[in-house]
């Protein structure tokens, strides 16, 4: 027990004796310093950073779940016949939605082509999900320049009767842009949110 001398406070007496006011002395402070040496306090300061990392990972995974185009392979054969400022296929490629591929690259998915023998239907959804979709980015006025004979791979499809809404062929039946054709195919095959995401790139 620590008794204060006359004229001293309890804490002044405790300071002189080296105690903590509870009958314990030096060993207590040594144990405290030991905790500090083992990084006890440092680990407490690192905890918020760990929680922040977890929150960031959760946000990234949430964004991935909210992306309706995730998991879809959207390809494009680009023949550079269109004005790049007005070409919907080129815009989607610049934004990472379409991926350009060489003419002779193997492709087993749906191919939107005027040389198709049947129209896209909901029955094609399995092909879309497994192998993807490709458009042919070219000018409707220069179809005779396209080497369709070199694009025999994949499942070639026509689109059902649809009227174009793009600025180049507005109101003309069947003359859809790459974006319109891809969105229509996605919609028909049950990927409505993906179709809306493609068209959303054009306001």
Residue 157 gets the label, from left (phi > 0), alpha (psi -120 to 50) or beta, of beta
pLDDT reported for residue 139: 78
pLDDT reported for residue 7: 53
**Over the stretch 132-186, which tens digit does the pLDDT of each residue have?**
999 988 877 777 777 777 777 899 999 999 999 988 889 999 889 999 999 999 9
pLDDT reported for residue 82: 74
Q: What is the mean pLDDT of the chain?
A: 76
Which one-letter DSSP state was computed for residue 83? Answer: -
pLDDT reported for residue 44: 47
Q: Which helix (H) or strand (E) holds 156?
A: strand 155-157
């Amino acid at each position: 027990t620590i008794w204060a001398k006359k004229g001293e406070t309890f804490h002044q007496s405790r300071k002189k004796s080296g105690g903590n006011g509870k009958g314990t002395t030096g060993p207590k402070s040594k144990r405290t310093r030991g905790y500090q040496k083992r990084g006890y306090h440092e680990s407490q300061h690192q905890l918020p950073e760990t929680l922040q990392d977890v929150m960031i990972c959760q946000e990234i995974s949430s964004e991935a779940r909210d992306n309706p185009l995730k998991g879809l392979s959207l390809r494009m054969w680009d023949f550079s016949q269109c004005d790049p400022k007005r070409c919907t296929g080129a815009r989607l490629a610049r934004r990472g939605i379409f991926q350009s591929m060489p003419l002779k690259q193997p492709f087993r998915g749906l191919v939107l082509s005027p040389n198709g023998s049947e129209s896209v239907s909901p029955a094609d959804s399995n092909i879309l999900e497994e192998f993807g979709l490709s458009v042919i980015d070219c000018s409707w006025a220069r179809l005779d320049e396209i080497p369709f004979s070199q694009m025999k791979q994949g499942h070639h499809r026509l689109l059902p009767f649809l009227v174009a809404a793009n600025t180049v062929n507005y109101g003309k039946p069947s003359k859809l842009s790459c974006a319109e054709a891809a969105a229509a195919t996605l919609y028909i095959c049950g990927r409505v949110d993906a179709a809306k995401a493609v068209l959303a790139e054009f306001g």
